[in-house]
Amino acid sequence: MSNLPVLSAIVVAFGVSVLLGFWLIPLLRKIKYGQTILDIGPKWHKGKQGTPTMGGVLFIAGITLGILAGYAMLLSGSGGAMFSHRLLDHMYIALGLLMALAFGLIGFVDDYIKVVKKRNLGLSAGQKMVMQFFIAILYIAGLYLAGSRSTFVRIPFLGEWELGILYFPLAVIGIVYMTNVVNITDGIDGLCTSVTFVSSLGFLVAASVLRNEGMSVMSGALAGGCIGFLMWNFHPAKVFMGDTGSLFLGGMVVALAFGLGIPVYLALLGLIYILEGLSVVIQVSYFKLTRLLTGTPKRLFKMSPIHHHFEMCGWSESKIVVVFSLLQAVCCVVAVTAVMRF
């Protein structure tokens, strides 16, 4: 398998994400598309008030163009004839990218309402859920029509389990869940970008092990776009990705997992996202349970999601990003080790 398509995807995604920032970030400042910092967050985040948001457009453009560049090179290469006859491989790329773009569009509408319409909460939770489930159903239906009919799932180190008809509703629920926990992870400078970069490297190695050229291109583009955006998003951030970017990243992570046939491996390749989401569930549940049992509600964490808990404990944003990324890297190594045992 040639490395040129992957390298081209990385370079294009990185270059576009970086270079576009020189034009888009000043434009966002000029038209006052700044982030509104809610009072429920850490008080020191108030200093970020007005930082341009919706910057996810940078890596959305970069990753999309990177995928197209790598895909074109893949088709024109020595293995292109063989790859071009595998319809399902094409559909995993096309439907995966379309799903991520659709999720990004939901985020864009949400950000637009927050910033332009001055409604801090944006779309309602119900509106977002309905749209996300609709997109997830379309994605799974599209794969089914393209020939992806297997209802087996691979469990790391445990082999395959047959889910039967339950596979399809569980897949839809899993897609929506993962997309939202990626969104939750975007809470401090560079965190979601860095964690997703590490995850994309895990997917890239897994795709190489499985000799999946299409997913190698997609994961390479994701890695390039994330590291390019990190040039603008690392602390102190010059731009935030907004829901526009975080929902798109969630869609990309899910698309890679399904494209490689390892959706359950998101428990490792996306562990940080899952822990972030669980911290919110645990916090809310503990608060309600203590209120019910004692009449006095209590919080298990100082603040959720859990990255805010560590902030309240005195950790710097940069330390949180490094520690969370290292933990994700360890999980990616475990996931790749499991993939190598197929």
pLDDT per residue as tens digits for the range 47-73: 566 688 889 999 999 999 999 999 999
Cα 54 to Cα 116: distance, rounded to the nearest angstrom: 12
Structure confidence at residue 41 as a pLDDT band (50, 70, 90): low
Q: What is the mean pLDDT of the chain?
A: 91
* pTM, rounded to two decimals: 0.93
Cα 210 to Cα 262: distance, rounded to the nearest angstrom: 11
What is the share, in percent, of the chain residues with pLDDT greater than 70? 90
Cα 85 to Cα 90: distance, rounded to the nearest angstrom: 9
Q: Distances in Å between the alpha carbon of 35 and those of 16, 98, 126, 175, 249?
A: 23, 27, 23, 27, 19
Q: Distances in Å between the alpha carbon of 133 and those of 116, 176, 265?
A: 26, 6, 21
Domain count, the chain: 1
Q: Distances in Å between the alpha carbon of 311 and those of 86, 119, 274?
A: 48, 27, 19
Range of the domain at 270: 4-339
